């Protein structure tokens, strides 16, 4: 007998292949498909979402399988993907499952006016990807719910979904995309593992006229993800009755970046009872005439960072390098038992307020931010003391033509505003005051700041306006602060010029880079303001005008 060793080896190698190597691609075509077909080619495509649910329950998909939906097709009056007609959640029981598109033309459309598009609750499923599907419409159910609902899955990618809430005949109002839910008894409903939401467009969630009444309709929501990582990026979310992106009760390491968020009734970003989050490189704004009625915060915010009554202090939030112009709202509001929050390198324009911090916020660092072009109450501090901690450090910011550059107030819900540090800041041409302190200075510290001009009474203490000299006498503050022209490049470019008195005259506050990422210091000492002055030498020649 001849032994065919090559065949045996080949068979052995095949057995060693991972399970995803045997994965199958299935096709679904609402017009030309048939549920009695094999589904494994475009010529033998299935027809309905109901068939997918049935196949998962009876036969079962395998690890790594992909189900593709034909573009230019619509599924209306069908079952919800992942949730069958008998109100039963599908247990897929596999590692690796993808739902996506094929063909050309408009995205495959799961009609949200006739059925909930997607609802998957499955702790037996991991590595789920949902890509390039239109899930528009809000009419499928009266009352609040969500068009795409994913719970208990380990590893989720939501990529390129499109959701226009004002498609169809009934704008009942829904959340757009929701991952996770608060625990149901002993059941943890949040997702885990690596979770990513990207390239999605979500808009028009809520009544036909947005914003309308106080209704909590949110674009993207992630709830109770307490392990793994979460990234939300490159999405466009706008014209939402309440929040654009909401993070609630999450502890997973989270990044929000490169999103375009505008015209949300309450907050484009609402960080609620969550920790370990970095928010960066987002464009966040309100267009002219858009007023927020979606939530309870007045004025509304572009970013709100806060805790709720049911949780302990949340920590480690970073907000950096965002472009924020919030119209009739406040750029960033930090409150309610938040600790270890760092806000830096953001630009605030055209807003009722820049940053407001109060109500038991602890250890907040605000540095190298730019406030200008219509940012009114640029920085408002109203925080109570807690265990002797240094509460707010306000360093190296630039305030240009604010109503008030810095406000320190005693809010009705707070104790005394105490132990806050204000150093190396530049305030230029305020409409009313450089500093407005509603109460006595207490243990707050102001020093090494630049206030320009020193004309009239541009400082306010308790109930009296003062000039700079009298302000220093009344408060014993700002001994090393100056009032000469800081000599910046322009009204929109706040780099220091070579004659600026702010060069090398600040104080070391242990910051290592400026707004541009330049190392601190560049000269003999730390500069005041958001930018370190850079002189340059080229082939032995000094350029005295500076480089920026």
Residues of the chain with pLDDT under 70: 1-21, 142-144, 169-173, 185-186, 207-215, 291-298, 309-313, 359-360, 374-376, 382-391, 410-418, 442, 536-548
* Bridge partners of residue 397, in order along the sequence: none
CA gap 11, 1 in Å, rounded: 19
Q: What is the signed CA dihedral for 46, 50, 51, 54, rounded to 10 degrees?
A: 170
CA 2 to centroid of chain Cα atoms: 67
Q: Do 164 and 204 contact (CB within 8 A), yes or no?
A: yes
pLDDT for 384 equals 37
Write out the DSSP string of 180-212. Answer: --S-BTTB--S-EEEEEEES-EEEEESSSSSS-
CA gap 449, 540 in Å, rounded: 34
CA 447 to centroid of chain Cα atoms: 33
- On whether the pTM is more than 0.75, the answer is yes
pLDDT for 390 equals 47
CA gap 261, 202 in Å, rounded: 10
SS3 (DSSP) at 212: coil
| CB hemisphere CA count around 521 (13 angstroms) | 15
CA gap 316, 338 in Å, rounded: 9
Please give the helix or strand (H or E) that residue 256 lies within, else none. Answer: strand 253-257
* Bridge partners of residue 46, in order along the sequence: 28
pLDDT for 383 equals 39
Please give the helix or strand (H or E) that residue 10 lies within, else none. Answer: helix 5-16
pLDDT for 82 equals 97
Cis ω before 211 (30° cut-off from 0)? yes
pLDDT for 427 equals 97
Nearest to 548 by CA among 492, 508, 505: 492
């Amino acid at each position: 007998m001849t032994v065919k060793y090559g065949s045996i080896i080949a068979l052995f190698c095949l057995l060693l292949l991972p399970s995803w190597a045997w994965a199958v691609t299935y096709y679904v075509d609402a017009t030309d498909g048939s549920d009695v077909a094999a589904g494994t080619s475009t010529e033998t495509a299935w027809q309905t979402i109901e068939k997918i649910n049935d196949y998962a329950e009876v036969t079962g998909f395998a690890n790594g399988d992909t189900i593709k939906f034909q573009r230019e097709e619509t599924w209306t009056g069908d079952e919800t993907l992942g949730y069958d007609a008998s109100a039963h959640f599908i247990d897929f029981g596999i590692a690796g499952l993808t739902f996506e598109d094929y063909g050309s033309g408009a995205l495959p459309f799961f009609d949200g006016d006739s059925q909930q598009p997607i609802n998957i609750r499955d702790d037996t499923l991991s590595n789920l990807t949902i890509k390039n599907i239109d899930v528009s419409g809000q009419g499928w159910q009266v009352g609040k719910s969500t068009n795409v609902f994913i719970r208990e899955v380990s590893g989720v990618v939501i990529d390129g979904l499109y959701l226009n809430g004002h498609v169809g005949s009934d704008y009942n109002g829904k959340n757009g995309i929701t991952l996770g839910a608060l625990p149901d008894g002993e059941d943890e409903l949040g997702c885990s593992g690596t979770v990513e939401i990207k390239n999605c467009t979500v808009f028009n969630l809520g009544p036909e006229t947005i914003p309308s009444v106080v209704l909590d309709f949110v674009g993207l929501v992630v709830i109770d993800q307490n392990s793994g990582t979460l990234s939300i990026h490159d999405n466009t979310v706008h014209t939402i009755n309440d929040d654009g992106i909401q993070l609630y009760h999450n502890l997973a390491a989270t990044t929000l970046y490169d999103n375009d968020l505008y015209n949300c009734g309450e907050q484009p970003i609402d960080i609620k009872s969550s920790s370990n989050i970095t928010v960066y490189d987002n464009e966040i704004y309100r267009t002219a005439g858009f007023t927020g009625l979606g939530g309870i915060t007045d004025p509304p915010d572009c970013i709100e960072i806060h805790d709720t009554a049911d949780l302990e202090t949340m920590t480690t939030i970073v907000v950096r390098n965002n472009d924020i112009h919030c119209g009739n709202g406040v750029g960033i509001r930090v409150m309610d038992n938040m600790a270890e929050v760092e806000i830096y390198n953001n630009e605030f324009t055209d807003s009722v307020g820049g940053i407001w911090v109060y109500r038991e916020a602890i250890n907040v660092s605000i540095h190298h931010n730019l406030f200008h072009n219509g940012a009114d109450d640029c920085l408002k501090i109203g925080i109570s003391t807690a265990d002797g901690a240094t509460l707010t450090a306000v360093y190296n910011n630039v305030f240009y033509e604010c109503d008030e550059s810095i406000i320190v107030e005693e809010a009705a819900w707070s104790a005394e505003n105490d132990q806050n540090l204000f150093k190396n800041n530049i305030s230029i041409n305020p409409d009313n005051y450089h500093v407005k302190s509603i109460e006595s200075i207490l243990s707050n510290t102001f020093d090494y700041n630049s206030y320009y001009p020193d004309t009239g009474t541009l400082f306010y203490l308790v109930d009296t306006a003062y000039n700079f000299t009298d302000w220093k006498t009344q408060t014993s503050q700002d001994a090393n602060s100056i009032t000469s022209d800081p000599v910046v490049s322009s009204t929109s470019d706040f780099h220091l010029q070579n004659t600026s008195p702010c060069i090398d005259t600040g104080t070391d506050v242990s910051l290592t880079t400026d707004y541009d990422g330049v190392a601190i210091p560049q000269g003999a000492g730390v500069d005041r303001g958001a930018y370190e002055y850079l002189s340059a030498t080229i082939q032995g020649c000094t350029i005295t005008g500076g480089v920026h």
